[in-house]
Structure 1
Amino acid sequence: MTIALATGRPYAAVDTDLPLLLDAARRHDVPAEVAVWDDPAVDWDGYDLVLVRSCWDYVLRRDDFLTWAAGLGPKIANPPEVLRWNTDKTYLRQLAESGVPVIDTRWDVRTGDPLPDAAEWVVKPSISAGSRDTARWSDPADVYAHSEELQAAGRTVMVQPYIESVDTEGETAMLFLGGRFSHAIRKGPLLERGEGVRQDRDSREVITPRAPTAVQHEVADQVLAALPPELGSAADLAYARVDLVTGPDGPVLIELELTEPSLFLDHAENGADLLITAVAGAA
């Protein structure tokens, strides 16, 4: 049993989860190594399992990434069909239709279209990571201009209300490893008022441990239970991250990360061990 931890070329040295997973694999006598997903020199047939980790450059080459994943078939986690569904945030429509409390999202708005009732709005493309091409606006004219610019580039656009509680409470990310809740963290606010579009917000991310409330646990369970049946059971996923913010009526889903989320394993007691043993057992 040999595991590849798949990453992107720029991220192998900065993904803080990778060394923790390698250490856990050694503790459990599971051979594991880091491999770059688009490196033609990698012999993927030599691995029993490929665990998708920090392949954050997929955003620029999503079709190539999904083709690579599909070629690995059942040996990749999470599965190819999950990656295809989850790498485009239009999945939020499907979850909302199933009754999950999802942040109010308008799609591909143009000048004059109604916006969510809010003092500020967030505009972002549906295929993105790390807040790329995302901005927080207080002027509807900026919202429309940003949305139309992204659409002109052939991208699907999301417009959401900026949830005021994020500035004080932050976001709550709940991590599930091997189908079990592991830990949660607080992510501090990333989008600053008036700064427009930026591509360098990761450097300002502030992460601290957080104990989720009972209601947040209920919403996270509801999110995972609402996965389309064709994707299988949430219990079969190597990992899942449910990102929640607190709206006027309680927790709402902002993203469900099943592809390449940071797992914040440095804030988890035995989280890396839990993931390695889960995927090794599944393989």
Structure 2
Amino acid sequence: MGRDARIALVTSADLPDLWDDDHPLRDALRERGVTVEAVRWDDPAADWSGYDLAVIRSPWDYVARREEFVAWARTVPRLANPAAIVAWNTDKRYLRDLAAAGIPIIPTEFIGPGESWTPPSQGEWVVKPTISAGSQDTSRYRLPGDATLATAHVERLTGAGRTAMIQPYLSAVDTAGETAVLCTPDASGELTFSHGIRKAPMLTGPAGAPIDASSERITPRDPSPAEIEAAARVLAVIPGGAKQLLYARVDLIPGPDGTPTLIELELTEPCLFLRTAPGSADRLADAILARL
């Protein structure tokens, strides 16, 4: 299937023409004769059954309506990535599952509504909600000086019925930076390495300062063999298997001993940094046609 195919690239009301980084994918599909439309996930007039595939790209306004978003995903007959992955991956408590499977993750404490948190006596810590996109409601604190601010942040999240997560701030963020390992299916449908990028530190402001995700500094990076292997280990323990995925982004940082450590596993609506890696949009477009 090619020229008769119809693809929906799923977006939000804020981005009716998609996020800029998704334009190379849109254009690559159109060059292959595919009809491509940007469609809001919550558009009541959308006929999802009329598309050969709906590919989730930039529905970033779902955070405040996550349950509605998951329910929507379950109604779409042909969705990438699939609804079961959406339900699992849009709440960062999935990190517990990966840790239980032996994946090295940043040590994480989860504080739910009605639970209290005692700040550590010292160190640098990151507080954020388990359901977020684009680093929303994420801040860095230096203890003991910022203990009051950090506690207020946790209480603000839990008081709103959200779950907070607290992680140590790793110094490697400021030196090595984060490595994102991007994967798409190969000709056989197996998820394989496509390209890599480096993300510069974003939590550089004063305690509690908001983050402007649009200022994120991205540069190409060739992941090390250890990072490629770490990403493969993560993908191997995804519920339902990695072969169901059209894309995956594995965000890694060197741990205290240098071991690649998982920050996040992005399977629902990650930026894929297609403009940063020549040929990556073509590889994804070909994978979409193969999936059809």
> Is this a same-fold pair by TM over 0.5?
yes
**How far has the Cα of 1:248 moved from its partner?**
0.7
Provide the C-alpha distance between the structure 2 equivalents of 1:196 and 1:26, rounded to a whole number of angstroms.
Answer: 43
Q: Note if 1:91 corresponds to 2:67.
A: no
Structure 1 equivalent of residue 271 of structure 2 = 262
Structure 1 residues 134 and 223: alpha-carbon distance in aligned structure 2, compared to 1, 3 A threshold: same
Provide the C-alpha distance between the structure 1 equivalents of 2:33 and 2:88, rounded to a whole number of angstroms.
Answer: 33
Instruction: State the AA in 2 paired with 1:43.
Output: D
**How far has the Cα of 1:225 moved from its partner?**
0.7
Mapping of 1:13-162 within 5 angstroms? 13=17, 15-73=19-77, 75-108=78-111, 110-112=116-118, 115=120, 119-139=123-143, 140-162=147-169
Give CA-to-partner distance per residue, 1:164-202, whole Å, 9 cap, x none. Answer: 11112221111001212100001111112424141x511
Structure 1 residues 245 and 61: alpha-carbon distance in aligned structure 2, compared to 1, 3 A threshold: same
Point out the more displaced range, 5-14 or 122-131.
5-14
Of 237, 243, 248 in structure 2, the residue corresponding to residue 226 of structure 1 is 237
Provide the C-alpha distance between the structure 1 equivalents of 2:133 and 2:283, rounded to a whole number of angstroms.
Answer: 26
Q: Note if 1:182 corresponds to 2:191.
A: no
8 Å Cα contact 1:137/1:193 also seen in 2: no
Q: Give % identity.
A: 49
Give CA-to-partner distance per residue, 1:21-78, whole Å, 9 cap, x none. Answer: 12111222222121111112222222111000001111011111111110013x0000
Number of residue pairs the alignment of both structures matches: 276
Provide the C-alpha distance between the structure 1 equivalents of 2:31 and 2:118, rounded to a whole number of angstroms.
Answer: 59
Provide the C-alpha distance between the structure 1 equivalents of 2:291 and 2:18, rounded to a whole number of angstroms.
Answer: 28
Structure 2 equivalent of residue 237 of structure 1 = 245
DSSP-derived class of the 2:123 partner? coil
DSSP-derived class of the 1:180 partner? strand
Provide the C-alpha distance between the structure 2 equivalents of 1:14 and 1:6, rounded to a whole number of angstroms.
Answer: 8
Q: Note if 1:191 corresponds to 2:203.
A: yes
After TM superposition, the runs of 4+ consecutive aligned structure 1 residues lying more than 6 A away are: none
Of 170, 175, 178 in structure 1, the residue corresponding to residue 177 of structure 2 is 170
Q: Which has the higher helix share?
A: 1
Instruction: State the AA in 2 paired with 1:259.
Output: T
Structure 1: gaps of 5 or more residues: none
DSSP-derived class of the 1:103 partner? coil
**How far has the Cα of 1:267 moved from its partner?**
1.6
CA RMSD after TM alignment: 1.7
8 Å Cα contact 2:54/2:80 also seen in 1: yes
Provide the C-alpha distance between the structure 2 equivalents of 1:62 and 1:197, rounded to a whole number of angstroms.
Answer: 25
TM-score by length of 2: 0.90
